[in-house]
Amino acid sequence: MSLFAELTASVNAVRPGRTRMRNTDLLLVLAASTLLMLGLLMVYSASIGLADGPRYASYGRYYFVIRHGLFMVAGLLGGALVLCVPMRVWQRLAFPLFGVALALLVAVLIPGIGREVNGAHRWIPLGPLNFQPSELMKLVAVLAAANYTVRKQEHMQSFVHGFLPMALALMAVGMLLLLEPDLGAFIVIVAIAIGILFLGGINGKYFSMLLAVLGSTFLLLIWLSPWRRARLFAYLDPWNDANAYGSAYQLSHSLIALGRGEWFGVGLGASVEKLHYLPEAHTDFLMAVVGEELGFVGVVLVIVLFGIILQRAFDIGRQAIAMERTFAGLVALGVAMWFGVQSFINMGVCLGLLPTKGLTLPLMSYGGSGIVMNLCALAMLLRVDHENRVMMRGGRV
């Protein structure tokens, strides 16, 4: 065979491999879409009976599912815009966006601007909608921590130039969130930031010190807050009569719902606990309704779908870093840590593995700001994957 024939055969052997590469991560999109559709279905099931009670009597049976569907549409539109913006632009916008998110966390505490619900100041009313700045801060924390790690790469072993600025930023965010109060959002944001710092190569001694300080702070906050302390003790003994009718009321009914579901569930729409027994069944405790109506199989399905999203996100991030796109890679890993930590806490609370904490289940629970920010984060992950594929084809981003 001539040299030209060998080269031609080699080119023909390579070309099909290139044309078979998809333009997007199909497995990631399918897993996320399934969670979104399942979430819409379960929000409908969990909320349809709320109109029978006095609190939501004027809302109507389809109030929550219609709003959830509209929030999903808004999130998809926002995600489409995010998907069109190159990662290099997001890198330039990281710190300005952090400033905006920080200002919104301040604004929510100002009387006349922020809205108070059950003693918490977490929302800014925008006409018929309520915007929750802490959800925006989760996405911005991913960008800011990734940008900070890239810019300070040479100083990650330094206390003054590498560790201290990020520690002070986390303290500022933490103080504002604890004034709302919103300990759950603070835990997620801290997990995102320290996870990205760890992957970015921060000094091990400083990293251990940060973990020790944060752990001590969380324990102190629990001990100094009577309602948090009561939740912890109730978690340790949820079936005690005083706890079951008090601080462990949600937990005990969540466990009853999961117990009723057994292997295959009582059937879609047949949940009893959602009928005013389990508070916040369509938000924080949606997983309990999944377990009651779809059983152990439904719970495992949700866990597997989240596992697929995390696996694909970590793979996309690793791929970006391997191509020396450190910022994009850290953003993908940050999104993975966000979804992983928040879903673990939500499921852990519903399953009785963790003390009760008000956090929604990403991509599934009812909540306008949450679902919109989740979809924007997912779009950013898909943008990183798109740019990876463009570079693997020999293009530029």
Query: What pLDDT, in 10s, does the model give residues 74-130?
Result: 999 999 999 999 999 999 999 999 999 999 999 999 888 888 776 778 889 887 788
CA 279 to CA 25: how far, in whole Å?
Answer: 37
What value does the mean pLDDT take over residues 321-343?
95
The pLDDT of residue 24: 83
Confirm if 222 and 233 have CB atoms less than 8 A apart: no
Residues shown for the chain: 397
Cα Dmax for the chain: 87
The pLDDT of residue 75: 96
DSSP E strand boundaries for the chain: 115-117, 120-126, 129-131
Which of 134-143, 203-212, 339-348 has the lowest average pLDDT? 203-212
pLDDT band at residue 8 under the 50/70/90 scheme: very low
| pLDDT higher than 60, residue 6 | no
The pLDDT of residue 174: 86
Q: Which helix (H) or strand (E) holds 57?
A: none
**Cis amide bond preceding 54, omega within 30:** no
Q: What are phi and psi of 262, to 5 degrees?
A: 50, -135
Using one digit for the tens of pLDDT, what is the confidence trace for 243-272? 777 777 888 889 999 999 999 999 998 899
Tokens of 11: 């080119």
| Three-state secondary structure call for residue 41 | helix
| pLDDT higher than 50, residue 307 | yes
CA 341 to CA 357: how far, in whole Å?
Answer: 13
| pLDDT higher than 70, residue 304 | yes
CA 274 to CA 288: how far, in whole Å?
Answer: 9
pLDDT band at residue 1 under the 50/70/90 scheme: very low
| Cα pseudo-dihedral 60, 66, 70, 75, rounded to 10 | 110
What value does the mean pLDDT take over residues 166-175?
86
| pLDDT higher than 60, residue 175 | yes
What value does the mean pLDDT take over residues 365-382?
94
Amino acid (1-letter code) at residue 55:
R
Which of the residue ranges 140-144, 156-160, 194-198, 202-206 has the most confident prediction, judged by mean pLDDT?
A: 140-144
CA 178 to CA 222: how far, in whole Å?
Answer: 12
Using one digit for the tens of pLDDT, what is the confidence trace for 57-67? 778 889 999 99
Residue-range domain boundaries for the chain = 25-50+60-386
| Three-state secondary structure call for residue 123 | strand
Confirm if 57 and 51 have CB atoms less than 8 A apart: yes
Query: Side-chain half-sphere of 12: how many Cα atoms within 13 Å?
Result: 6
The pLDDT of residue 11: 43
What value does the mean pLDDT take over residues 334-352?
94
Using one digit for the tens of pLDDT, what is the confidence trace for 118-167? 677 888 988 778 899 999 999 999 999 999 999 887 777 777 777 788 88
| pLDDT higher than 50, residue 284 | yes
| pLDDT higher than 90, residue 70 | yes
Q: What are phi and psi of 202, to 5 degrees?
A: -65, 150
Q: Is 263 exposed, middle or buried (0-12, 13-18, 19+ CB in 10 A)?
A: exposed
Amino acid (1-letter code) at residue 12:
N
Q: Helix H segments across 225-324? A: 226-236, 241-244, 249-261, 286-322
Q: Which residues contact 328 (CB under 8 A, 6 or more apart)?
A: 87, 317, 320, 384, 387, 388
CA 206 to CA 165: how far, in whole Å?
Answer: 13
Q: Helix H segments across 108-248? A: 133-151, 164-179, 183-199, 204-224, 226-236, 241-244
